[in-house]
Each structure stands twice: as structure tokens, then as C-alpha cells.
A and B are shown apart, each in its own frame.
Chain A
Amino acid sequence: MINSIFNICGNIGQKFLKFLATIGHFFIFFITAIFWMFRPPWYFKKIFYQIIDIGYFSLPVVGLTTFFSGMVLALQTYNGFTELNTETTVARVVLTSITRELGPVLTGLMVAGRIGAKMAAEIATMRVTEQIDALGTLGTRPMQYLIAPKIIASLICIPVLVLLGNTIGILGGYVIAIFKLEFNPSIYLYATVEYLQWIDIIQGTVKAIIFGLIISMVSCYFGFNATKGAEGVGYATTASVVISSVMILTSTYVITALFFG
């Protein structure tokens, strides 16, 4: 009996130590990646390709998600607030929800699924096929050549995607409000502009930057440290998406609490 309690405690302790070691390892990776981001040479061609991949090719999925979210939000708000001054309330709720929360979070989750998985799989494959080892022997630093362009591109693209996603989301709400709920377009637009606050845009942008850092760092970390062949690539991909998503949802609360808590 006592032995099995000791065994359970031992296992928990071992897992906890392993968790702490992973956190420490990730922190070192994070600092190293940041360091190499600011050291020349910068691989502009690679950064450009990443911007196209992360920014341009993610736009349809981000646009579609935020557009429909805006539409749903307008419809649900209207149903909930029919007895109030709905025209301004719907516009305000759509605007605030999209800019503060839904726009950044949905964009972050979509990019984590699309780009995070791709980054992790690409780097993990390179790791298990010795391509990263080969890079190091050809006068190139893998952190600088592989990781830094992805982080730089994420930090540039995700805030832009969030801003575009916010606009499309608000447009989604507008479309429903005008064409289905038969609101007055001028009043709805006026209410939207009136309630638009700089703090919301700043907060959304801060979230986008943090999410960009989370997605690129987590994905690159799991890809870079992949082991055990194809299974390792699968694990790196899954772990990067799951952990990025959890970190996005956790950090969005922390940032909101810091801004409005």
C-alpha cells in the first residue's frame, strides 16, 4: 500500500519535473529565437514567402470565420435585445465583441490550425530527415534561417489579419442588421463609428502580436525538437496546435484583465 503511494507520488514528481524541464527548454528556445531575429543576415526572401503564406493565404479562412461570427452575433444580439434600443445596441455589441475578443481569438485559432500545424510539420520533418543538421554544417544557423523568418512574418501578419478580420466581422454584422433585421444603414454605421474606441483597437493589436508570438514560437519549438520519425512529426503537429490554442485562450483572458480588469 505504502509502496504504491510512493510510486504514484514518484510518477507525479517525475512528470512535474519533466514539465518544468520543458518549460525551461522552451524559455531558452524563446530567448535564442528572439536573439537571432535581431542579428544579421536577415533572409528577406524567406520572410517574404512566409508573409505570403501566413498573411495572404490565411485571409480567406480568417475572413470567412469572422464574417459569419459577425452575422451570428448581430442575429443573437437582436434576439436578446428586441425590447431595448436595438439599433445602437446591436452595433455596439457586434463592434465590441469583434474588436476586443472574437476577431483576435478566432483569427489566432484559425492561424494556429492552419499555419502553426504547417510550421511544426515542416520543421519536424526537416529535423527527422537530418536537414536541420545539414543546415548547420553548411554555414547556416538553423535558428536564423528557419525559425527567425517565421516569427518575424507571424508578428507582421497576424496583427494585420486581426485588423482585417475585425473589419470583415463588423461587415458581417452590418449585412445582417441591414438586409435581414432591416435596420437603418446610416444609424447603424453611425452607432458603429461612435462606439469605436482606440483602446479596443490597441487591445486587439496587442493580442494579435502576443498570439503571433505564441503560434510561431510554440510551433517552431515542437517542430525543432521533434524526434522518432513520422510519429514525432505527428506529435509535434498535434502538440503545436493544441498548446497554441490553449495558450491563446489563456492569454486572451490575461490581456483583457490587464486592459479592462
Chain B
Amino acid sequence: MKNKLYNKTIIEVKNLTKSFNDNIVLNNINFELFEGESLAIIGESGSGKSVLLKNIIGLLTPDKGSIKINGLEMVNLKRSVKEKVLLDLGITFQHGALFDSLQNWENIVFKIRNNEKLSNKDAKKLALSIIKRLGLNSEILTLYPSEISGGMQKRVAIARAICGDPKILLFDEPTSGLDPVTGSLIDKLIKTAVKTVGGSAITITHDMASVCRIADKVILIDRQTISWLGTPNEMLKSNNPKIKDFIKSTNPKLFV
């Protein structure tokens, strides 16, 4: 689905297949993410959404197929080049993956401090400016991840992902485990991050309200492949039984 609004392809996935031993998890996946576009990936648990994301960021290597980021083929790309590409990406993992030996502010500015010289004072100031956007209190900055709630950890992980305003954002279930108000705040932030820096985002989510708020395009992964692709409006009107079941079971109010 090539949208008129978007010209430049940021991420292009072609014929991607991934299996673990004899278990095929993803089979012949094809899609494109354009500049300024927000893509939501939905699907049942265990359908391979996170595996797809891990293939894109190079943590897993596909059995077959191609993944291009900004036109650069990522599969079998030289490690040092891949690392440079990854610096332009902001990623959150399903369970936060915060470093528990570091304080929250150190987690947030980890990438920035690792790649440029930044005094502790400036780094803390930067971390503070980011967590304020996420509705977090400054007191959590000097705490360790284990000392804050799961929802707060999720937001610190998002703060780490958006620190430095990366142009490509990849979120793995960013609103799971959050209350509806905070979830909505995160959605707004993703939308803002995409629009203000002209970035692009891929969000894996089960929250259909969130999909409607943030996505320009939706992909349903079912039985190892993309079984449906369209806009959130098309999704709500879709007669595809899988889509219907998914929406009804996750957020029936959207159907009213």
C-alpha cells in the first residue's frame, strides 16, 4: 500500500522468513514503512510480532529475505555499519530491558553518553526534560529501575528510546501494563515524536484504541504471515473475520 503522502521508504521488508528449528514463525513477510508514517503491528500472542522486530534491528537473522533501513541492506551487514544504523533508531523492548545496575537518568541518556561527551549535570538535565514529557516525576531520576513501578519502568524505557530524537522509533507493546490515562499519554507522545521530528514508527500493540490513535497503517500478523494490511478506519470497517475477532476481543467498544 503506497500512500501518496509518503515518498521515502525508511524500512523495507521483503520476503522475510524466520524459523526456529523446524518451527516457522514468520513466512514471506513483506511491507514498507515510509517517512513520517506510523505503522502498528497487531496479532495474537506468539504470532511472531516481536520476532519480526528483532529481525529488523538485527538481533535475529532471517532465514530468507531482505530488510532495508534507509536503503541499506541490514541482513549480513558489517557489524560496525549496522551499529551506526542502529544509533538512528529508538527501541523499546517488551519488558523494558532497563539496566538495573544504573539509575534511571543513566538509563535514559545511556546512548547519548556512550557516543558523545556529556557532563553528569547536562545528562541529568536532558533526562529530566524527557521524563517531563512522559508525565514522570523528577524524583525517579536518581532511583534504580527496581525501585519504581512497572508502569514507570515502561515510561523510562520509552524515555530512553526517544532520547536524542531518533528518526525511527520501534516500540514493542509500549502501553501494555499502563493505566488508560498513561497509555493515552504515551500514544500522544509517539504521535508527536513521529510528527515533530518527521520520524517513522513501528508499534507492536494489542491495544486497539491505541492503534486507532497512533497508526496510519495497520498490519495483522496471523499464521506466520501478514494476513491483513490497511488503515485504522479500514480496519474498523473490515469484514475480515480475524480482524473482527481481534477487535471484538480486545476492545469491543470500538465496534459500537
Q: Does B226 contact A (CB under 8 A)?
A: no
A131 lies within 8 A of B98 (CB): yes
Residues of B within 8 A of A141 (CB): 83
Nearest-CB residue, chain A, relative to B101: A122
Nearest-CB residue, chain A, relative to B50: A130
Q: Contact partner of B99 among A131, A136, A137, A139, CB < 8 A?
A: A131
Nearest CB on B from A192, distance (A): 44
A139 lies within 8 A of B83 (CB): yes
Q: Contact partner of B111 among A131, A133, A139, CB < 8 A?
A: A139
Within 8 A of B (CB), among A29-83: none
Nearest-CB residue, chain B, relative to A140: B114
Q: Does A2 contact B (CB under 8 A)?
A: no
Residues of A within 8 A of B93 (CB): 130, 133-134
Alpha-carbon distance A131/B95, docked complex (angstroms):
10
Within 8 A of B (CB), among A111-155: 122, 125-126, 129-131, 133-141
B95 lies within 8 A of A134 (CB): no
Q: Contact partner of B97 among A122, A131, A139, A140, CB < 8 A?
A: A131
Alpha-carbon distance A140/B99, docked complex (angstroms):
13
Interface window among B6-14, B32-40, B84-92, B239-247:
B84-92
B95 lies within 8 A of A129 (CB): yes
Q: Contact partner of B91 among A125, A131, A134, A140, CB < 8 A?
A: A134
B95 lies within 8 A of A137 (CB): no
Residues of B within 8 A of A130 (CB): 93-95, 97
Q: Does B52 contact A (CB under 8 A)?
A: no
B114 lies within 8 A of A137 (CB): no
Knowing A137-B91, A139-B87, the reply to whether A131 touches B100 (Cβ < 8 A) is yes
Alpha-carbon distance A129/B59, docked complex (angstroms):
14
Knowing A131-B99, A131-B100, the reply to whether A139 touches B86 (Cβ < 8 A) is yes
Nearest CB on A from B107, distance (A): 9
Residues of B within 8 A of A131 (CB): 97-100
Within 8 A of A (CB), among B66-111: 83, 86-87, 89, 91, 93-95, 97-101, 110-111
Digitize B199-239: 1 where CB-to-A-CB distance is under 8 Å, 0 elsewhere.
Answer: 00000000000000000000000000000000000000000
Nearest-CB residue, chain A, relative to B93: A130
Digitize B7-31: 1 where CB-to-A-CB distance is under 8 Å, 0 elsewhere.
Answer: 0000000000000000000000000
Interface centre among A122, A130, A141 (most CB of B within 10 A): A130
Alpha-carbon distance A260/B114, docked complex (angstroms):
49
Alpha-carbon distance A141/B93, docked complex (angstroms):
18
Q: Does B149 contact A (CB under 8 A)?
A: no
Alpha-carbon distance A126/B86, docked complex (angstroms):
20
Alpha-carbon distance A131/B57, docked complex (angstroms):
15
A139 lies within 8 A of B100 (CB): no
A139 lies within 8 A of B114 (CB): yes
Nearest-CB residue, chain B, relative to A135: B99
Q: Does B196 contact A (CB under 8 A)?
A: no
Residues of B within 8 A of A133 (CB): 54, 59, 93, 97
Q: Does B119 contact A (CB under 8 A)?
A: no
Residues of B within 8 A of A139 (CB): 83, 86-87, 111, 114-115
Residues of A within 8 A of B98 (CB): 131, 134
Alpha-carbon distance A138/B83, docked complex (angstroms):
8
Nearest CB on A from B3, distance (A): 28
Q: A130-B94, A137-B89 are in contact. List 5 more A-B contacts (CB 8 A).
A: A129-B100, A136-B86, A137-B86, A139-B83, A139-B87
Q: B interface vs A, CB < 8 Å?
A: 54, 57-59, 83, 86-87, 89, 91, 93-95, 97-101, 110-111, 114-115, 160
Subset of 5 A-B contacts with CB under 8 Å: A122-B101, A130-B93, A137-B57, A139-B111, A140-B110
